[in-house]
C-alpha cells in the first residue's frame, strides 16, 4: 500500500502524554474500554459489544472519541505498553483521565512514550497513515495520509 | 481550564521532594488536566485499591515509588489483597503467583500505608468525618463515604489513588465540590409500609444502580435502616449494578434531611417509581439456581462484615446449629477479627462450619474448597461478581436463610 502525503492533511492537537509515533489508524466511533475490552497479552480487542471485536491494536494509532469504563483500564494500558501489545499512539476527541494515567505510568516505569493526543478526529478512517510529532510550544502535529482512491 | 498549582505542588513536581513525589505529582497533574480541574485541594486521607495482583505493571509502579523513597503524606488505608495474611494456607495459589502477590501487599506497607486490607475502611479507626475531603478507591467504600458519612471523594482507581496519597492532594472537581453533589434523579419507593429487611436495601441498590446512569440518585420512601450495614449493602449493590458514587436517601443520609436539600433546591431531572415487583425482579436475577439445589458453601461479608453483623450472626449460628460442616465463610477486616478474638466471641464456632476470612475476599482469590456446587450469600455484590470471577453458581438470600440452608444442606428460602 502506498500513501500519498500530498493528499494528506495536518492537524494540531494537545498532548495528554507527549511523544512521537507513526502507524496505521484503527478508528472507532464507539469508545473502547481497555479493562474487559483488550487482552494485554496479545493486543486483541475482546469486548463482544464493540465493533472492533477480534481486531488487534498493537502498533496501530487507535482513534476514538473518548475512553470508557472502569479505572482499571489504566493498569491494562500500562501492562499492554510494557508487553508491546499497546497501540503506538492514541488520538482522542476528548481528554481521558484513565488512559492518560496508564500512558504516563508506563513512561515513568519503562521509558516507553506512547503519545495520547486530543484533536479533531473527524474523517480519520481505519487504514489512514498517521504520524504524530512534536510541534512548537508543546502542541502536537498529527499528519494524516489518505490511502489513494 | 489551566490547572493552578501552589508553590508546594510545584516543588513536588520539580523533584525537590524526591523522585517518587515528583512522579506522583506529574501523574496527578495530567489526570487533573484531563478532568478539567482548575486547582488541587488538600485531602485528609486516602484508601488505596492497589493490593490485588493483576499484573507486573501494578507491582512495578509501587516498587519504583518505594525505591524512590516515597511515603504517603496522609493516613492511608489499604483495600483487600490476594492473600489472607492472618490465616496462612487459606488461599491456594501457585508459588510463582504467590510471591509477587504477597510482595504487592508488603510494598504498599513500605510506602507507609496502614495494614488494614479491608474493603470497609469506614469500619476502622481511619473512618473520615462529615465534609472531609478524601481520595478513595473501591466502589463500595466510595459510595459509603460519600453517601452515609458525607465525606467527599470521586471514584479514584488504579495508580491515581496512590498519587493522591503521596501528594496529599486531589483535583478540585466532581464530588469534592458542593454543587456537584446535588441529586439529579428521584426514585420513589412505592411500597406501602416497607419492612426494613436486608434484601429490600440490596434490591433498591441494584435498581438505582441500573437506572441512574451518571446521575446522582435520591431515594424517597426508604424505611429507616436498622443500622448502617443496610446502607452499606444498598451502596455496594448500586455501585455493582452501575457507577453510583453517591446516593441520597431522604430523611436518612446526612446531605438529604429533606427532599429539597437532596436536590439543593432544584427540580429532579427525572422521576422513577420503584415497585415491589421491581425489587423482586432485581433480586431474582442474583440467583442462578432454584430452591432445593445442593449447597457447597455460604459466603457472607461482602463488603467486609462489621462487628454489628457478627453480633447478629453468631447467636443465629448457635441457635440453628448447622452440623453438616458446610463451610460458612465470613469475610471481615483484621481489626474486627482481632476485636472478636479479644472478646472470645468466636470460641467453638468452627464446629458449626464457620470460617473467618481476613485481608481478602472469597470472590477475588482461591479460598473456596469446592467450586462445583452452589454458594449462598446475603451479598448483592458477591452474587453479581462471583459467577464470573470464580465460576460458582449462586443463590442470594437473607443471612438467616443462608444459615438455615447450611444446616439442611440445600437452598431454602423463606417466602419474603
The parent domain of residue B192 ranges over: 182-284
> Is B276 found in the same domain as B187?
yes
> Is B150 found in the same domain as B25?
yes
The residue in chain A having the minimum alpha-carbon distance to the alpha carbon of residue B171 is A97
CB of B118 within 8 A of CB of B79? yes
In this prediction, residue A4 carries a pLDDT of 47
Last residue of a domain, one of B148, B177, B206: B177
CA distance A101 to A109: 12
Enumerate residues 9 to 28 of chain A having a beta carbon within 8 A of any beta carbon in chain B: 16-17
**B68 domain residue, yes or no:** yes
> Is B205 found in the same domain as B144?
no
Mean pLDDT of B10-30: 97
Please count the residues of chain A: 149
Q: Splitting chain A (149 residues) into consecutive groups of 10 residues, what average pLDDT does each group show?
A: 60 94 96 90 91 96 88 91 98 92 95 96 96 93 82
> Is B187 found in the same domain as B172?
no
Contact check, Cβ <8 Å, A70/B31 = no
Probe site for chain B from A39, A46, A48, A101 (most B CB atoms < 10 A): A101
Q: Which range among A48-52, B167-171, B190-194, B366-370 has the greatest average pLDDT?
A: B167-171
> Is B71 found in the same domain as B93?
yes
> Is B146 found in the same domain as B20?
yes
DSSP run (H or E) holding A145? strand A140-146
B415 CB within 8 Å of a chain A CB:
no
B325 CB within 8 Å of a chain A CB:
no
Answer yes or no: is pLDDT of B364 > 90: no
Last residue of a domain, one of B256, B284, B312: B284
Contact check, Cβ <8 Å, A71/B27 = no
> Is B306 found in the same domain as B380?
yes
pTM of structure: 0.93
Please give the mean pLDDT across all residues of chain B: 95
Contact check, Cβ <8 Å, B55/A75 = yes
Probe site for chain B from A16, A76, A78, A117 (most B CB atoms < 10 A): A78
CA distance B350 to B224: 34
Nearest CB among B36, B61, B157 relative to A70 is that of B157
**B57 domain residue, yes or no:** yes
Tens-place pLDDT, residues B186-220: 999 999 989 999 999 999 999 999 999 889 999 99
The residue in chain A having the minimum alpha-carbon distance to the alpha carbon of residue B60 is A109
Mean pLDDT of B341-368: 94
* Whole-complex ipTM: 0.85
Tens-place pLDDT, residues B403-414: 999 999 999 998
Nearest CB among B36, B55, B157 relative to A40 is that of B55
> Is B173 found in the same domain as B186?
no
The values of phi and psi at residue B278, to 5°, are -60, -45
> Is B13 found in the same domain as B129?
yes
Which chain B residues have a beta carbon less than 8 Å from that of A81?
57
Mean pLDDT of B17-42: 95
DSSP B410: B
Contact check, Cβ <8 Å, B160/A109 = no
Q: Which three cell numbers stand for residue A26?
A: 484503527
Which chain B residues have a beta carbon less than 8 Å from that of A100?
30-31, 33-34
Across B14-90, the runs of DSSP E, i.e. the strands, are 40-42, 45-48, 76-78
> Is B272 found in the same domain as B311?
no
**B290 domain residue, yes or no:** no
- C-alpha dist (Å) from residue B257 to B99, B244, B323: 50, 20, 47
**B67 domain residue, yes or no:** yes
Tens-place pLDDT, residues B307-335: 999 999 999 999 999 998 899 999 999 99
Mean pLDDT of B38-50: 97
**B41 domain residue, yes or no:** yes
The residue in chain A having the minimum alpha-carbon distance to the alpha carbon of residue B163 is A101
CA distance B186 to A123: 40
Tell me how many domains chain B contains.
3
Contact check, Cβ <8 Å, A104/B54 = no
> Is B350 found in the same domain as B242?
no
In this prediction, residue B416 carries a pLDDT of 46
Which chain A residues have a beta carbon less than 8 Å from that of B55?
40, 75, 79
**Positions of A marked active-site:** 70
Q: Residue B175 in 3-state DSSP?
A: helix
A129-134 and A140-146: which strand pairing? Answer: antiparallel
Q: Is the peptide bond before B303 cis (omega within 30 degrees of 0)?
A: yes
CA distance B53 to B400: 34
Domain A4-146 classification at class level: alpha beta
**B89 domain residue, yes or no:** yes
B18 CB within 8 Å of a chain A CB:
no
> Is B94 found in the same domain as B42?
yes
In this prediction, residue A125 carries a pLDDT of 96
**B358 domain residue, yes or no:** yes
- For residue A48, with 0-12 CB atoms within 10 Å meaning exposed, 13-18 middle and 19 or more buried, which class applies? exposed
Domain ranges in chain A? Answer: 4-146
Q: Which three cell numbers stand for residue B307?
A: 462487628
* CATH, residue B368: 3.30.499.10
Which chain A residues have a beta carbon less than 8 Å from that of B58?
75, 78-79
Amino acid at each position: 500500500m502506498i500513501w500519498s502525503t500530498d493528499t494528506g492533511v495536518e492537524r494540531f492537537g494537545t498532548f495528554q502524554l507527549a511523544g512521537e509515533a507513526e502507524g496505521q489508524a484503527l478508528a472507532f466511533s464507539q469508545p473502547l474500554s481497555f479493562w474487559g475490552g483488550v487482552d494485554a497479552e496479545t493486543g486483541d480487542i475482546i469486548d463482544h459489544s464493540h465493533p472492533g471485536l477480534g481486531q488487534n491494536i498493537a502498533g496501530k494509532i487507535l482513534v476514538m472519541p473518548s475512553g470508557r469504563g472502569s479505572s482499571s483500564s489504566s493498569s491494562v494500558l500500562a501492562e499492554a505498553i510494557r508487553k508491546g501489545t499497546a497501540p503506538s499512539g492514541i488520538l482522542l476527541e476528548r481528554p481521558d483521565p484513565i488512559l492518560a494515567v496508564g500512558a504516563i505510568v508506563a513512561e515513568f516505569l519503562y521509558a516507553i512514550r506512547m503519545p495520547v493526543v486530543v484533536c479533531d478526529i473527524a474523517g480519520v478512517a481505519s487504514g489512514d497513515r498517521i504520524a504524530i510529532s512534536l510541534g512548537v510550544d508543546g502542541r502536537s502535529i498529527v499528519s494524516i495520509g489518505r490511502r489513494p482512491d | 481550564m489551566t490547572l493552578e498549582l501552589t508553590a508546594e505542588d510545584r516543588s513536588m513536581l520539580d523533584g525537590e521532594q524526591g523522585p517518587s513525589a515528583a512522579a506522583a505529582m506529574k501523574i496527578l497533574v495530567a489526570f487533573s488536566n484531563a478532568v478539567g480541574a482548575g486547582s488541587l485541594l488538600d485531602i485528609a486521607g486516602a484508601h488505596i485499591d492497589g493490593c490485588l495482583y493483576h499484573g507486573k505493571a501494578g507491582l512495578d509502579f509501587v516498587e519504583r515509588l518505594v525505591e524512590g523513597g516515597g511515603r504517603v503524606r496522609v493516613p492511608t488505608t489499604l483495600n483487600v489483597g490476594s492473600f489472607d495474611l492472618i490465616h496462612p494456607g487459606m488461599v491456594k495459589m501457585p508459588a510463582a503467583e504467590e510471591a509477587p502477590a504477597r510482595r504487592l501487599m508488603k510494598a504498599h506497607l513500605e510506602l507507609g500505608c496502614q495494614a488494614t486490607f479491608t474493603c470497609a475502611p469506614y469500619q476502622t479507626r481511619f473512618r473520615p468525618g462529615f465534609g472531609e475531603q478524601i481520595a478513595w478507591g473501591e466502589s463500595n467504600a466510595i459510595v459509603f463515604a460519600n453517601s452515609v458519612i458525607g465525606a467527599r471523594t470521586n471514584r479514584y482507581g488504579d495508580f491515581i489513588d496512590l498519587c493522591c496519597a503521596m501528594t496529599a492532594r486531589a483535583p478540585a472537581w466532581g464530588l469534592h465540590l458542593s454543587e456537584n453533589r446535588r441529586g439529579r434523579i428521584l426514585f420513589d419507593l412505592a411500597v406501602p409500609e416497607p419492612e426494613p429487611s436486608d434484601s429490600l436495601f440490596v434490591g433498591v441498590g441494584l435498581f438505582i444502580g441500573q437506572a441512574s446512569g451518571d446521575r446522582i440518585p435520591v431515594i424517597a420512601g426508604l424505611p429507616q435502616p436498622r443500622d448502617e450495614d443496610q446502607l452499606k449493602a444498598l451502596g455496594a449493590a448500586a455501585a455493582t449494578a452501575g457507577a453510583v458514587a453517591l446516593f441520597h436517601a431522604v430523611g436518612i443520609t446526612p446531605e438529604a434531611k429533606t427532599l429539597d436539600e437532596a436536590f439543593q433546591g432544584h427540580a429532579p431531572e427525572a422521576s422513577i417509581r420503584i415497585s415491589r415487583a421491581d425489587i423482586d425482579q432485581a433480586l431474582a436475577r442474583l440467583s442462578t439456581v432454584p430452591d432445593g439445589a445442593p449447597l457447597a458453601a455460604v459466603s457472607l461479608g461482602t463488603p467486609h462484615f462489621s462487628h454489628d453483623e457478627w453480633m447478629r450472626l453468631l447467636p443465629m449460628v448457635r441457635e440453628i446449629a448447622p452440623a453438616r460442616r458446610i463451610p460458612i465463610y465470613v469475610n471481615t477486616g483484621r481489626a474486627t477479627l482481632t476485636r472478636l478474638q479479644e472478646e472470645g466471641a468466636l470460641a467453638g464456632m468452627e464446629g458449626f462450619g464457620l470460617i473467618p476470612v481476613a485481608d481478602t475476599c472469597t470472590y477475588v482469590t482461591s479460598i473456596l474448597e469446592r467450586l462445583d456446587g452452589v454458594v449462598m450469600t446475603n451479598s448483592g455484590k458477591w452474587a453479581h461478581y462471583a459467577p464470573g470471577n470464580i465460576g460458582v453458581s449462586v443463590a442470594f438470600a437473607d443471612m438467616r436463610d443462608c444459615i438455615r440452608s447450611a444446616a439442611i444442606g440445600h437452598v431454602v428460602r423463606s417466602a419474603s
